Amino acid sequence: MTLIEVMLALSIAAGIATFIYVSARDVTKTKARIEGDAERVREAQAALDMFGRDLRSAWLSGHKKPLQPVVDSVFVGEDDDPIDRVTVTTFTHVHRQYDANDSDQADVSWFGVDDPDDGRVMHLARRESASPDETPLEGGETRILVHDVVLFDLQYYDVERDEWEDEWDTTQATAQPQRLPLQVRVLLTLVDRFGGEINLATQFPLEMQQPILLPGGFQ
C-alpha cells in the first residue's frame, strides 16, 4: 500500500468517525429536547389536574351577613393578557401538619408572574390561603407550577345567558352574584424547545352550583 493510499484511507476513516460523532451528538441533543418538552407537558398536565380539582370543589356560602362579618366565599375570574387570573373558595386544602388549625377550606388563586431574570417570560402560579377570611384575594403562599407560559385563557359558561363569559364575579351585584359557572374552559399554551407552541385545552365542570349552608353559620 502506497503512502497516498494510506492517507486516503485515514481521511475516509476520519470522515466516517466525524460523521458518527456529529450524528450521535445531534441525536443526543434532540433526545434531550424531546425529553425536556415531555417533562414540561407533564408539568402542565399535573397543574391542570390540580386546577380541575380546585374548580370542581369550588363553593359559595349561602349565609348572609348580619351585624358582624363572617367568612366570605368568592369566585372571581379576571380577563388578563396573556394569563387570566381566577380566585375561588374551595374544599381542596390538604392537611400537612398534625393538629393544625385549619380545615379543607381554602382561598385559591391562579395567575401569571414575571420571571425574575427575564421580564419577557411568564409563569403560571397558584396561591393558597388555608385560612379563608374577608380578604380572599390576598394572603397565603404562592408557588410556580408551570414555566414559560405563553397563554392561560379561561372562559366561564353562564347557564342563565347560555353563553361563554370572559369574566366572572360573584362579589358584584351587576355581575354573577351568588352563582357559579356551569363549566370553565381552559387553554394553556407553552413554548417548546424549538420555539414552537404546545397547546393544551380542556374543560372542567363545577359540581356545587348552589350556595351551601355550613353548620354554625349565619342564615
pLDDT digits (tens, 9 = 90+) for 94-121: 766 666 666 778 899 999 999 888 878 8
Q: Is the pLDDT of residue 21 over 70?
A: no
Q: For residue 212, which phi and psi values (nearest 5 degrees)?
A: -115, 160
Higher-confidence residue of 64 and 57: namely 57
Inside any domain, residue 106: yes
Higher-confidence residue of 87 and 133: namely 87
Inside any domain, residue 39: no
Q: Is the pLDDT of residue 35 over 60?
A: no
Taking residues 33-48, report their average pLDDT: 79
Inside any domain, residue 4: no
Question: What is the tens place of the pLDDT at every residue in 129-174?
Answer: 887 777 788 888 999 999 999 999 999 999 999 999 999 999 888 8
Which pLDDT belongs to residue 99? 63
What domain count does the chain have?
A: 1
Inside any domain, residue 12: no
Q: Is the pLDDT of residue 30 over 90?
A: no
Write the DSSP string, 99-139: T-S--S-EEEEEEEEE-SS-TT-EEEEEEEESS--S-TTS-
Q: What is the pTM of this model?
A: 0.77
3-state secondary structure 14-45: HHHHHHHHHHHHHHHHHHHHHHHHHHHHHHHH
Residue 217 pLDDT class (50, 70, 90 cuts):
very low
Hey, what's the cell of 107?
A: 382561598
Hey, what's the cell of 141?
A: 403562599
Bridge pairing between strands 75-78 and 85-90: antiparallel
Inside any domain, residue 37: no
Amino acid identity, residue 217?
A: G
Inside any domain, residue 31: no
Q: Is the pLDDT of residue 177 over 80?
A: yes
Inside any domain, residue 141: yes
Which pLDDT belongs to residue 218? 41
| Residue range of the domain that includes 175 | 50-205
Residue found under cell 424531546: 34
Inside any domain, residue 152: yes
